[in-house]
Structure 1
Amino acid sequence: MARIAVVTVPSPQSWIIVNALVKFFGPVTIVAEERESKLTLIRRRMRRQGVITILGQIGFVLFQRLLAQKSRKRIGEIIAEYGIDPNPNAACEMIKVGSVNSDACRAALAKLAPDVVLVVGTRIIGKETLSSITVPVINFHSGINPKYRGQAGGYWALAMGDPDNAGVTVHLVDEGVDTGAVLYQARFKATPRDNFITYFFTQAAIARPLAITAVEDALAGRLKPVKVDLPSQQFYHPTLWFYLWTAWTKGVW
């Protein structure tokens, strides 16, 4: 049996993909990264983006709690429509590590000796961890690379008036932010009932066959990156005022 490791911060979206893998390949091993502390995240982003932008992003994060409550019905519709399972899978062994860049993570992966590693929603993987892995490392990204790298790529495509590039990418991992060679991409169509919260459920749903195919290709030694002729840009969380303005003026929630 193939040894598949999924490195992730467990979430409904990551379980949607993991459960699809389990259904196709059998149980996989989860290397579960702890979510980065909000204070650490705020400090790092403040150095890059400035105080005003960070305050706006904090406001948006708080607003997401209300948005999530209002999205429950639509999330249920997406789950039913795609037949996805966002619940933890007890059949999968889970190894908890503080960070993908920790000695504990590297030790866990060395002990597992997987044939392929799939990454879903972790912090950027550093050189030391990447160089310690001798098998293909594949990432699921919620956006079309390289045009919508970083966070919430599906939302940003819609907010920028570019719905044809609202989608997902499965790509090889390098030391950059979603800059690795592209393997597969797929697009989705948002409905007026969708918003920042529900996009991620649809994106995870359409990514399932891409992730399965990429893992199959890695196991068979036939990974073939494709060239994508798009400009490259990195995005972060929107500020609250940008989100509300875009929702009001463009109907993109």
Structure 2
Amino acid sequence: MRISLLAPVHTSLYARMLAWRLGRADGIELTDVLLRAPFQLDRLRDELRLTTPGRVLAKVTGKVLVGSLSSPRAGERSVRDIAAAEGLPGSSLKDVCAAIGARFHVVQNHNDDRSLAALRAAAPDLIVFAGGGLLRAPLLAIPRIGVLNTHNGVLPRYRGMDVALWPLLDGGAPELGVSVHLIDAGVDTGPLLLVERFSLEPGDDHPAVMRRIERVGLDLMCRAVLGLRDGTLTPAPQAAEAGRQHFVMHPAIAAIAARRLRSLAG
């Protein structure tokens, strides 16, 4: 199975680990990795439309400069620990591509003409999306199977943004987890492959939950790609009425959800 990978920043541990694992997997040929160029005005505008300036700054600090989410607690297994254990080479996505023999491209936008031309030339069966902005219909139409994405919540119930926080305001035990789905024209409405739920652990806060989502998402995405390779997974359509779209939380509401999280986690 031929695959291409789309990535948001060259330091992203999530994207680097996906490329490292998939690039060495039997029966998979990771031919091309496309990195969306950072620090663009249009990208900043996209981010600010979706969230607040403070959260954009935190994202740049964590994902772009550090390569992952906030620092793990003592005894917590993070994606950084996994990368060290699996021998992730170098310090950038370009280094990983050199190690696995994949072509590396830097594009202004994953939807631009240069990106589309590279993807059409690669002729992937599947595109793995590790982040980097919204994807348009011409790109989604390129791969034979589709474009695979991890979502930071339980689908179909929790579509959209801040779906690791909204469940905390619904009462009862929060439904937290990660989903892998194919991207369609809707917001997290594409056919579903895998969902993995998890419970809060003692001492959890919002950063700890997001780090767990990153770790679970890495494993779940790899399982989904291998399942498609082997024919053991079949994407299942989501029922439109089974969930609703959630939007970015106002900071005051997010603070309430974060306090409830800490209360539930003891």
Q: Once the 2 structures are TM-superposed, how far is the Cα of residue 152 of structure 1 from its aligned partner?
A: 3.4
Partner of 1:33: 36
Query: Could you report, residue by residue, the CA deviation over 1:154-202 in whole angstroms, capped at 9, with x for unpaired residues?
Result: 2332354465521111111211111101011101233344333333331
Please tell me whether the aligned partners of residues 168 and 261 of structure 2 are also in contact (alpha carbons under 8 angstroms): no
* 1:184 pairs with 2:194: yes
**1:205 offset after TM fit, Å?**
1.8
Change in 2 beyond 3 A, CA 1:12/1:131 = same
2:259 pairs with 1:248: yes
SS for the counterpart of 1:251 is helix
Q: Counterpart in 2 of 1:234?
A: 245
Aligned residue for 2:210, secondary structure, equals helix
AA aligned opposite 2:124: P
Cα distance in structure 2, aligned partners of 1:104 and 1:233: 35
Q: How does 1:1-253 map to 2 (within 5 A)?
A: 2-10=1-9, 11-25=12-26, 28=30, 29-35=32-38, 37-42=43-48, 44-45=49-50, 57-61=52-56, 71-74=70-73, 77-79=76-78, 83-84=82-83, 88=92, 90-92=95-97, 93=102, 94-161=104-171, 163=173, 165-221=175-231, 223-226=233-236, 231-251=242-262
- RMSD of Structure 2 on Structure 1 (CA): 3.6
Number of residue pairs the alignment of both structures matches: 241
Deviation of the 1:4 alpha carbon: 2.0
Structure 1 range deviating more: 5-14 or 154-163: 154-163
The alpha carbon displacement at 1:59 in A equals 4.5
Percent identity, please. 24
Question: What letter is aligned with 1:245?
Answer: I
Deviation at 1:148, TM superposition (A): 1.6
- TM-score normalised to structure 2 length: 0.72
Q: Is the 8 A contact 1:60 1:239 kept in 2?
A: no
State the SS of the aligned residue for 1:24: coil
- Rounded Cα–Cα distance in structure 2 between residues aligned with 1:100 and 1:75: 37
Secondary structure in 2 matching 1:234: strand
Aligned residues of 1:16 and 1:205 also touching (Cα < 8 A): no
| SS of aligned partner of 2:154 | coil
Shift of 1:109: 0.6
Q: Which piece of structure 1 moves more, 226-235 or 207-216?
A: 226-235
Relative to structure 1, the CA distance from residue 83 to residue 133 in structure 2 (aligned partners, 3 Å threshold; closer, same or farther) is closer
Q: Secondary structure at the match of 1:39?
A: helix
Alignment gaps of 5+ in structure 1:
46-53
- 1:126 positional shift: 1.2
Check 1:248–1:157 CA distance in 2 against 1; reply closer, same or farther (3 A cut).
closer
TM-score normalised by L of structure 1: 0.75
Q: CA deviation at 1:215?
A: 1.6
Structure 1 residue identity aligned to 2:251: L
Of the structure 1 ranges 148-157 and 174-183, higher mean CA displacement relative to structure 2 is found in 148-157
Q: CA deviation at 1:81?
A: 10
Distance 2:213 2:74 in 1: 12
The residue matched to 1:129 in structure 2 has which SS?
helix
Shift of 1:107: 0.8
3-state DSSP class of the match of 1:72?
Answer: coil
